[in-house]
Amino acid sequence: MPKRGGKPRKRKDGRWEYRFYVKDEGGVRLRRVSVFGRTAEEALKKGRELELKAQKGLLPQPSAMTFAQAAEEWLGRKALTRGATTLRAYRREIAYALPYIGPLRLQAVKPLDIRRMLDALAKKGLSPRTLKKVLERVRAVFKEALAHEVIARDPTAAIRIEAPTRTKAGRALEPEEAEALLRAFDAWPTPGVGLALRLCLALGLRAGEALALKWGDIDLEAGTFTIRRAWTALGGKGTLTEPKTSSARRTLPVPKGTLERLRARWEALLEEGFRPEEAKELWVVPGKDPSRPLNPHSLNHALRKIAARLGIPRLRVHDLRHSYGSFLLANGAPLELVSERMGHANPSITLNVYRHLLGHERQAWVVDPEDLLSRPRPKA
């Protein structure tokens, strides 16, 4: 049984401390347990909760385990159930936290340590999305420690990452800019790069989707191709992954001009001596090593040069995809169709991304009751 504490006392640093005593594992010596709060009431409440745990034998015994050690054990268990790509991402995200809380005893880590770690990483330039991933991994380590009764509280429980104010998803090209870019893509000295950029603009593909196309994914007779995989930068130079969602795995009609260019490249492969069965296993946009697609960073690198030569404000490859969606909506395509073509999980995502454009379109839908009243009435 724990020795019940007295009243909370105020410390020199302004916090309130509540103390009580419990017996160690041998049941001989008493060890002190201190709980802190911003007010006497908060400290007392936390202390009473821990006393109750101690009475039930649930209060963790002192442990020298550090966060780094606990994280390594957690990663070891995840290695049994996660794929190599996912595990690499977990390790990378945990690694961001190690310089700040890695050497600390797991039981000694406080919410303020977590908050300061995230603030420091934000100052280094990590995006809110990456910060969220780091917090998710750190939280998973502490949740497991809590489940194993190594710690009494999860110091990440009250920590949140504040999302930045959402701006437009990208810049939509003007029609004349799109026309100039398509000509520049055809003239680009590396034909595969130009073709991949054209696919992003003409079909709204994500960069990774365009790079992961094989000739077997394309039906040149029907004029369609199917998205089955993506090529991402997670593994350094590139890693093949499954589509982001079930909706991202989709079959798309190919515009006439792009289809003609794909047919010409297919014929060129056959003239090089490839049999159709062999050619279908080749990447549409191969890298220097033909067995792998193009480096994922190549498209943005080329697009920056092309935009600069044309005098177009700096673009990202994602802006090409965003422009495709904007062009569809501006030409009256239903929201559900645009969502399907873009591979969004549901139309509400499309609505959030293009709400600003749809707002302009809605302004044209004005009905004046006076116009209705002034129309000639049909004769009886």
Q: What is the pLDDT of residues 99-143, one digit of tens each?
A: 999 999 998 899 999 999 999 999 988 888 889 999 999 999 999
* Lowest-pLDDT choice from 16-25, 83-92, 202-211, 231-240: 231-240
CA distances from 180 to 18, 248, 331 (A): 71, 29, 20
Taking the alpha carbons of 348, 318, 90, 156 in that order, is the dihedral positive or negative? negative
- CA dihedral sign, ordered 220, 264, 181, 190: positive
Q: What is the pLDDT of residue 379?
A: 62
Question: Please, which residues bridge with residue 30 across strands?
Answer: 23
Give me the chain's average pLDDT, please. Answer: 85
Which of 158-167, 191-200, 232-241, 363-372 is most confident?
Answer: 191-200
pTM: 0.57
Q: pLDDT tens across 312-371, in order?
A: 998 999 999 999 998 888 888 888 998 999 998 888 888 877 765 554 444 444 445 655
* Helix ranges restricted to H, 272-346: 276-279, 298-310, 317-330, 335-342
What band does 29 get if pLDDT is binned at 50, 70 and 90?
A: low
